Chain A
Amino acid sequence: MDVVAPGLSSPEALVAWKPLSGGGAGAGGLRLYWSDVGANRIDTCFLEGSGDTLLKCGEVTALRSDVPAVTGLALDPASQTLYWADSNQMRLQAAPLNDPAAETTVVEPVRLPTAIAVQPSMGKFSGAVFFIDQATPATLSKVWLNGSGTRELMSGGLSQPRAAVYQLGACYVADPGTGSLLVIEEHGAYTSVLYPPAEGPRIPIRPRGIAMRDDVDGRLGSAYGSLASAASHSQAAHTPWLLLALAVGWLRGQRYA
């Protein structure tokens, strides 16, 4: 284990970005951004290293040094915009990476924002920011970046949600209050508890941060689960109609036999 970035106060939120082009040290490499709530900063560093050595932080620089209580960070690589949740000012903020002082307010008020995740813009489709408001009752909402509004996606079933990640049409949430991992379809069409299972063995967890590869897709299992559940419910509800249809078909077959 090695020290890679000394001098931090109380690091809280963390995001990574891989610049694909551009000049400067580290272009094409990996960059980390994190909030340091003890120092009122958002810091960044390039990860340096080669071969089999673990990548370590190079020079740490402050992107912002006037932002207390940044409890959530997210980054849109397409627009190169950094988003953060400011629980002190009760709002979500955004600023371009090349001009971090040029902040704009994405949405306010948010009583107790604790985590955010970015859905990047795709062509004519507006991007969005998912955000958790931990004020009672805790909620997961989505604000579109084209100004078309805010929508609450989930309100029940959350206790102290503290982490959110957007990927492949879904938002993943970690809730240490309920000890659960959840996936919420990007429009709120369905919500599924990934863990703990409804039955069977389980271990108590208090998840605070979540991360995954870019190609991880938790929607399939969830969708199958939802569909299976819906199918069983549907089958039970429609069994009389199904039997009637089969009977009609049999009678028709008898008539033409």
Chain B
Amino acid sequence: MSSVQITDTIFFTDDVDPPAIRAFNLGTRQISLVLSYTMETPAIREGISPLHPDGYNRTLRPRSMVFVEDSNDRAALYWADACTHVEKRQALIGRGCAWAAPGLRLAGVWAVPG
């Protein structure tokens, strides 16, 4: 797992192709990539077809995001991915993605079509 700083950092969902989660550091004013995901990302590939039943390609759309820490100092990002123009069957999916500052871990959870 790669290291991601969580202090002095603003995380954001990036609605680009492929969708990405990025971190903006307030001190350095630099943006770094936390992760990106596509229809070929294993969990997504395993869960859904890349094609809509009508033949349209699915399009991943990362949306709102929150940062939370639990009582065990585990840090996680949760975000929604509102795929548009797909059948109404989606899911929240979680995946540990990175180690963060000492003693804190950063994970990701997002919603994708299920």
| Chain A residues packing against B (C-beta within 8 Å) | 1-16, 18, 28-30, 32, 34, 37-39, 47, 54-57, 73, 163, 172, 174, 176, 181, 194-195, 197, 203-213, 215-218, 220-221
Contact = CB atoms under 8 A, between A and B. Distances in A.
A206 B77 CA distance: 18
Contacts of B70: 29-30, 47, 55
Nearest to A194: B24
B15 A208 contact: yes
Contacts of B12: 163, 174, 181, 205, 207-211
Contacts of B114: 3, 6-8
Nearest to B20: A205
B59 to A, nearest CB: 12
Contacts, number: 192
B41 to A, nearest CB: 7
What 10 A-B pairs are tightest by C-beta distance, nearest first? A1-B43, A5-B92, A1-B95, A209-B65, A11-B80, A211-B67, A207-B12, A14-B64, A6-B91, A209-B64
A7 B111 CA distance: 10
A240 to B, nearest CB: 34
B91 to A, nearest CB: 4
B42 A10 contact: no
Given A1-B42, A205-B31, A56 B94 contact: yes
A195 B24 contact: yes
Interface of B: 6-16, 22, 24, 26-27, 29, 31, 41-44, 47, 61-71, 74-84, 88-96, 107, 109, 111, 114
Given A195-B29, A197-B29, A13 B88 contact: no
Contacts of B69: 213
A176 to B, nearest CB: 6
A57 B67 CA distance: 15
A54 B76 contact: yes
A34 B6 CA distance: 23
Contacts of A16: 66-68, 78
Contacts of A55: 70, 74, 76, 94, 109
A184 B79 CA distance: 23
A207 B47 CA distance: 26
B111 A2 contact: no
Contacts of B77: 211
Contacts of B6: 213
Interface centre among A181, A207, A209, A216 (most CB of B within 10 A): A209
Given A54-B107, A213-B6, A206 B83 contact: no
